[in-house]
Structures are given as structure tokens and as C-alpha cells.
Amino acid sequence: MAISDPDYTWKILLLGDGFVGKTSLVNRYVRNTFTKEYLHTIGMEPSFRDMKIKGLKIALQIFDIAGQKSFQRLREMFYRGARGGLITFDLTRPETLASVEGWYKEAHKKAKGSQFILVGNKHDLTDQREVSEHDAREVADKLKMLDYIETSALTGEHVESAFMMLGKYILKKMKR
Ligand code: GDP
Ligand code: MG
């Protein structure tokens, strides 16, 4: 439910390779649900949730990128006006961390001034983990990303915190 009369409305993006859990993170955050199925991202439909920071009402419009890499015009629309978001990789697949730089650069080019948090998802799969916190932080630092956090869309761990952290950074930048 949208809050009536928000103080701000922000467009927020979920970026990252296929199957890392972008749609699952949005579902956990917005609907508090999880499914083992691969969730087909339906076109350009945003999900909505509100957050409150320091008494301010913020309406989030959350867009999660589908595998539509080839549709250049759709991609322009996707990025336009975005404040920032979560660039997500899968802690069990190092190649998805290697893709983060590409996602970050594209977002920076297409959404000026946008800011991103690096998110290592599937933290619950402890036995299959193949990316260390050290290596992930190194990528975040190199790209001057806002922060790094590890989440599980399955258990819900740190999902709220990831969005809240992002919101606080965006607000801080606006007030400068
Ligand atoms: P997307 O392509 O990035 O949108 O990825 P999806 O959200 O569709 O998730 C891909 C697959 O990973 C699905 O089978 C999900 O159930 C699974 N998945 C997503 N997040 C997690 C997580 O935190 N833990 C585990 N164990 N599986 C996850
Ligand atoms: Mg998806």
C-alpha cells in the first residue's frame, strides 16, 4: 500500500546476473514471500513499498531487471531517473561477482548520480559458498560503492537492512 503524500518517491533498481536472486529479494522485501521456483520477471512492472527514515515518508518504486539485455530502448527506460539500488551477486558463484563491475558502469552511465550497495545473496547456502567477504568488499571498495551486505531472500536475513541502508545513503546525499 502506498502511503498517501510521501515526502519523496524514489526509483530503485535491482541489478545483477540472472539467477542471483533479484526477483526473490524484491518478493521478500515487498511481499515477505519466497519460492524455490525461478521467478520470471514480468517486463517493466515495478513493485511498491514505503519506508520511513527519520520521520520522512519515502515511496519506493522497485524495478528488477530481467534478461532483456538486447532491448536497448527498454534498458534506457529502465535506468532513467533511478536513484540507485542493489547490485546483487550469488555467494555460491564467483562469476556473478566478476560481473558486478559491468553492471555498475552501465548504471552509472545511464542513471547519473545513482548510488549502489553491493549485495551478496544466498547467504543461507553456507556449504556452497565460494566468495569470501574479503573479495566482495574489495570489489565494492574499488568501485566506490556505498557498502557491502550479505543477504538471504530465503530466510529473509538482512533483506530489510539492505534496503534501509540504501535509503539512508540516498537521503544523506540529498541533504548535502
Ligand atoms: P533473478 O534471476 O536474479 O531474479 O533470480 P531469482 O530471484 O529468480 O532466483 C533464482 C533462483 O535462486 C530461484 O530458484 C530462487 O528460489 C533461488 N534463490 C534466490 N534467492 C535465494 C537465497 O537467498 N537462498 C537460496 N537458497 N536460494 C535463493
Ligand atoms: Mg528475476
Cell digits of residue 9: 518517491
Ligand 1 atom nearest the C-alpha of 41 is 4
Query: Closest Cα to atom 22, ligand 1: which residue?
Result: 122
Query: Closest Cα to atom 24, ligand 1: which residue?
Result: 122
> Taking phi first (over 0 means left), then psi (-120 to 50 degrees means alpha), and beta for anything else, what does residue 164 get?
alpha
Q: How far is the CA of 175 from the centre of ligand 2 (A)?
A: 33
Mapped onto helix, strand or coil, the DSSP state of residue 10 is strand
DSSP β-bridge partners for residue 133: none
Ligand 1 atom nearest the C-alpha of 123 is 23
Q: How far is the CA of 38 from the centre of ligand 2 (A)?
A: 7
175 contacts: CB under 8 Å, gap ≥ 6: none
Q: How far is the CA of 22 from the centre of ligand 1 (A)?
A: 7
List pLDDT tens digits, range 116-157.
999 999 999 999 999 999 999 999 999 999 999 999 999 999
24 Cβ below 6 A of ligand 1? yes
List pLDDT tens digits, range 35-89.
887 666 655 678 999 999 999 999 999 998 776 555 677 788 889 999 999 999 9
What are φ and ψ of residue 85, in 5° steps? 170, -155
**Structure pTM?**
0.94
40 Cβ below 6 A of ligand 1? no
What are φ and ψ of residue 63, in 5° steps? -110, 135
Q: How far is the CA of 21 from the centre of ligand 2 (A)?
A: 7
CATH assignment, 8-175: 3.40.50.300
Let me know: does 124 contact 111? Beta carbons within 8 Å.
no
